[in-house]
Amino acid sequence: MKIAILGGDGFVGWPTALHLSHLGHEIHIIDNLSRRWIDTELGVQSLTPMDSIQERCRVWHELTGRRLNFHLLDLSSEYERLKTWMGENAPDAVIHFAEQRAAPYSMKSDRHKVYTVNNNINATHNLLAALVETGIDAHLVHLGTMGVYGYSSVGAAIPEGYLTVELDKLDGGRATQEILYPTKPGSVYHMTKSLDQILFQFYAQNDGLRITDLHQGIVWGTHTDQTRRHDQLINRFDYDGDYGTVLNRFLIQAAIGHPLTVHGTGGQTRAFIHIQDSVRCIELALADAPKARDRVRIFNQMTETHRVRDLAELVAMMTGAEVAYLPNPRKEAAENDLVVRNEQFLELGLDPITLQEGLLDEVVDVAKKFAYRVDRSRVPAVSAWTKDLSQKVEHDP
Ligand code: USQ
């Protein structure tokens, strides 16, 4: 297949590009490199030293003989260029990662909220409009988030996207209707992915676009089979308070002797997936495209759930790190249970990699190897969800 990977320079986009190129697909990475600019804005860098995207593509070509084509293009502001590119290249599939993906970054200030909404919603809508206008019938696979559901399973498992509800009919009878599972985003970032769902629903129903939305959990790990093949193919690794995700943060904190930064009681339960499974799920979703006029296909792309303080205790036990219980900068339930259905990927053949000490050791090893690149002052999470929380966090970061 000819596949366009929008956001192919990012944490999941890059290993996906390598994985699909390895499988023999023709890959086109479209990216505006905004993630690299945001590093510059925040004054942080990936724990792992990353080469330019052009250099990464060159190394892959030298190693494998396969080409990764890179196109510098901003989806959210360059609609005409996007449409022209789609029309001229007619990809069979488009994978859409090209959104600002950090909840804390999206909550930093009003400017960051506005940026996240403008960037994410325009990117998604521009893409949908361009697909309709060019009529190329590509399968669109979007990286969504488990966070669209909120994180409470109210004693019942969260289904894969849809819920059947019963309604009282006017004649006294009962009717059933299938609806998108109600969204309950916990940040402006998660809100944009909730809005994306409505855009997808409309364009699937109105124009017959074939769309798969992957509601992904928190990714952990850093290497995949392909990023391991050469030092210069290494994946990015975020550890800072805005972009670092919880388990990877705990592992780097343990490696540099920083207390593990548990927010509040650490009672939040979240869904997780290893980076290698994440790229495999995208492969599986691509191979099982919906047909025109199908509803949007939704998968829960996660393999297990864990409570944050249990993860902290596991990492502390493995490494001897201390655990620090800090004021929570986020507005989120202190404790929640979470049960999630994920049968669709299992039925398609996903054999999940679950949290194992061996794999955690691998991340600790990466963290130790590059610990000299860590700026400890960027480890605390200080982006607060409300002005009240901001005061608490400033006093006790
Ligand atoms: N947390 C801590 N300590 C930390 C960092 C986080 O206790 O040092 C807690 C947070 O308060 C939260 C949980 O860990 O309760 C998860 O935080 P996170 O930063 O790992 O994950 P989140 O903000 O939800 O976002 C990440 C990705 C996002 C993706 C989402 C999937 O950045 O792109 O969509 O995970 S999910 O969480 O399932 O919605």
Q: What are the DSSP calls for 146-168, one per residue? A: GGGG-S--TTS-B-SSEEEEEEE
Per-residue pLDDT tens over the stretch 281-338: 999 999 999 998 899 999 999 999 999 999 999 999 999 999 999 999 999 999 999 9
Per-residue pLDDT tens over the stretch 95-122: 999 999 999 999 999 999 999 999 999 9
Query: What is the maximal distance between C-alpha atoms in the chain?
Result: 71
- Check pLDDT > 80 for residue 393: no
Per-residue pLDDT tens over the stretch 13-71: 999 999 999 999 999 999 999 999 999 999 999 999 999 999 999 999 999 999 999 99
Instruction: Determine the residue of 197, 308, 339, 382 to mutate for testing ligand 1's pocket, defined as the one with the most ligand atoms within 8 A of the Cβ atom.
Output: 308
Q: How far is the CA of 336 from the centre of ligand 1 (A)?
A: 14
What does the alpha-carbon distance between residue 349 and residue 340 come to, in Å, rounded to a whole number?
18
User: What average pLDDT score do residues 187-212 get?
Assistant: 98
Which residues lie below 8 Å from residue 165, measured CB to CB, with a gap of 6+? Answer: 176, 177, 178, 179
What does the alpha-carbon distance between residue 397 and residue 391 come to, in Å, rounded to a whole number?
10
* Predicted pLDDT at 209: 97
Q: Which of 3.40.50.720, 3.40.50.920, 3.40.640.10, 3.40.309.10 would CATH assign to domain 2-237+272-303+339-354?
A: 3.40.50.720
What six digits make up the tokens of 14? 């890059």
In short, whether 304's Cβ falls inside 6 Å of ligand 1 is no
What six digits make up the tokens of 327? 């004021």
Position 358, amino acid? G
ipTM above 0.90, yes or no: yes
In short, whether 298's Cβ falls inside 6 Å of ligand 1 is no
Q: Whose CA is nearest to atom 17 of ligand 1?
A: 246
Q: Known catalytic residue: 193?
A: yes
Helix 246-255 × helix 308-319 angle, to 10°: 20
* Predicted pLDDT at 395: 57
**Cβ 180 vs Cβ 162: under 8 Å:** yes
What does the alpha-carbon distance between residue 38 and residue 44 come to, in Å, rounded to a whole number?
9
* Predicted pLDDT at 358: 78
Specify the pairing of strand 68-72 against strand 210-216: unpaired
pTM, rounded to two decimals: 0.97
What does the alpha-carbon distance between residue 233 and residue 50 come to, in Å, rounded to a whole number?
8
Q: Known catalytic residue: 2?
A: no
Q: Known catalytic residue: 269?
A: no
**Cβ 290 vs Cβ 297: under 8 Å:** yes
